[in-house]
């Protein structure tokens, strides 16, 4: 017997109505309506509403995006607490979303109380709309012998420093960040809007390369588009160097926010302004110093 988990088996063990899933696969149109941008909670980001044509079939119209611990690390205790939470206040289903967040489906009535319980567990929501999305990181040195920098540690520093940017949509467009511990790039950082990749240089030691402008999707010219190098090397020997990396992100986000065209994604912004102009605006002198 083939032993491989089945998404339909998991869905059918939750409160999610499998009839709705079947309708989505076989019907002539999706049973889900367009996303409702109406803000129904006092949360600027981290939630959305996906209504179904028949609300009696799909009461869990609210989705919450939980910002997870970087690197995908979670203890059994945290998993159990989340399982209990989605069972009591949600559809009994947790979705590890492609963007790196955990999506929880719940009702408008339960959503705010659910966020309160997430906060009590040390978790919060964010990463929707035109904000800095979840800072994705690879597994890092906790289990990988290739790690040149501690990607989850650096991503945690950045996620905490830029938490407002993840929770208050005020950027020109969405910006998907990532941190990879080495050039193997297990998190596809090289196709993200704003990313760091661990590198090692013979005389300079370990550090990161800052790449920007990668994207997938319909507006990327029909194929995945790789990010390009903005700053080839920033030394990162340990936690004491994270601040400079964060300063670089801050300056880049500031320049993009000031000079971007209408809803201009990072890759298009880079095409239009060019690397040299962006570095000048950032006050980066290319010798490794912020002016």
The answer to the question of residue 185 lying near ligand SF4 (CB under 6 A) is: yes
- Picking from 168, 178, 177, 161, the residue whose alpha carbon sits closest to that of residue 131 is 168
* Per-residue contact flags (x/-) with ligand SF4 for residues 134 to 173, judged by CB under 6 A: ----xxx---x-xx---x----------------------
- Of 181, 207, 213, 214, the one binding ligand SF4 by CB under 6 A: 181
Sheet containing 136-137: order of strands? 136-137, 177-180, 194-201, 205-212, 228-235
Task: Locate all alpha helices (DSSP H) within 90-172, ordered by sequence.
Answer: 108-120, 151-161, 163-167
Alpha-carbon distance 135 to 99, whole Å? 9
* Residue 23 and residue 104 in contact, taking contact as beta carbons nearer than 8 Å: no
Per CB under 6 A, 208 contacts ligand SF4: no
Q: DSSP for 172-223, please give it.
A: SS-B-EEEESSTT-TT-GGGSSEEEEEEEETTTEEEEEEEE--B-SGGGTTS
Identify the three-state secondary structure at position 249: helix
User: Which of helix, strand or coil describes residue 139?
Assistant: coil
Shortest distance in whole angstroms from residue 138 CB to ligand SF4: 3
Continuous H helices in 211-284: 242-259, 266-273, 275-282
Residues 9-38: x where in contact with ligand SF4 by CB under 6 A, - otherwise, as a string: ------------------------------
- Residue 64 CB neighbour total at 10 angstroms: 26
Q: How far is the CB of 170 from ligand SF4 (least distance, A)?
A: 30
Rg (CA), the chain: 20
**How many residues line the site for ligand SF4 (CB under 6 A)?**
13
Complex with ligand SF4: residue 146 or 271, whichever CB lies closer: 146
Give least dist CB 145 to ligand SF4, A. Answer: 8
Binding string, residues 100-139; x marks residues near ligand SF4 by CB under 6 A: --------------------------------------xx
From candidates 85, 136, 175, 180, binder to ligand SF4 by CB under 6 A: 180
Task: In angstroms, give the least distance from the CB of 287 to ligand SF4.
Answer: 27
CB of 150 to ligand SF4, least distance (A): 9
Nearer to ligand SF4 by Cβ, of 90 and 140: the residue is 140
Using CB under 6 A as the binding rule, whether residue 200 contacts ligand SF4 is answered as no
The span of 59-67, 88-96, 126-134, 179-187 binding ligand SF4 (CB under 6 A) equals 179-187
Beta-carbon neighbour count of residue 19 at 10 Å?
10
Q: Is 105 helix (H, G, I), strand (E, B) or coil?
A: strand
Residue 149 · residue 198 · CB < 8 Å: yes
Per CB under 6 A, residues contacting ligand SF4 are: 138-140, 144, 146-147, 151, 180-182, 184-186
């Amino acid at each position: 017997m083939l032993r491989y988990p089945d998404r339909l088996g998991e869905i059918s063990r939750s409160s999610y109505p499998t009839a709705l899933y079947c309708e989505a696969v076989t019907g002539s149109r999706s049973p889900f309506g367009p996303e409702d941008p109406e803000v129904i909670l006092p949360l600027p980001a981290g939630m959305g509403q996906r209504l179904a044509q028949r609300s009696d079939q799909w009461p869990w119209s609210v989705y919450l995006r939980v910002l997870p611990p970087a690197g995908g690390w979670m203890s059994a205790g945290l998993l159990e607490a989340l399982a209990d939470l989605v069972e009591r206040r949600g559809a009994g289903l947790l979705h590890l979303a492609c963007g790196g967040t955990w999506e929880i489906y719940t009702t408008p009535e339960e959503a705010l109380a659910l966020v309160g319980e997430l906060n009590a567990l040390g978790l919060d929501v964010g990463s929707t709309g035109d904000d800095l999305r979840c800072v994705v990181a690879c597994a890092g040195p906790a289990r990988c012998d290739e790690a040149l920098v501690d990607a989850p540690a650096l991503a945690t520093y950045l996620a905490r420093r830029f938490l407002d940017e993840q929770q208050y949509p005020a950027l020109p467009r969405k910006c998907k960040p990532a941190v990879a511990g080495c050039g193997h790039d297990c998190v596809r950082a090289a196709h993200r809007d704003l990313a760091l990749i661990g590198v090692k240089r013979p005389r300079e030691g370990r550090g990161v390369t800052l790449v920007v402008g990668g994207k997938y999707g319909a507006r990327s010219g029909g194929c995945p588009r790789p990010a390009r190098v903005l700053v080839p090397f920033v030394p990162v020997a340990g936690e004491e160097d994270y601040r400079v990396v964060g300063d670089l992100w801050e300056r880049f986000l500031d320049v993009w926010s000031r000079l971007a065209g209408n809803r201009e994604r990072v890759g298009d912004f880079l095409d239009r302004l060019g690397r040299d102009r962006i570095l000048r605006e950032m006050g980066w002198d290319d010798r490794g110093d912020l002016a």
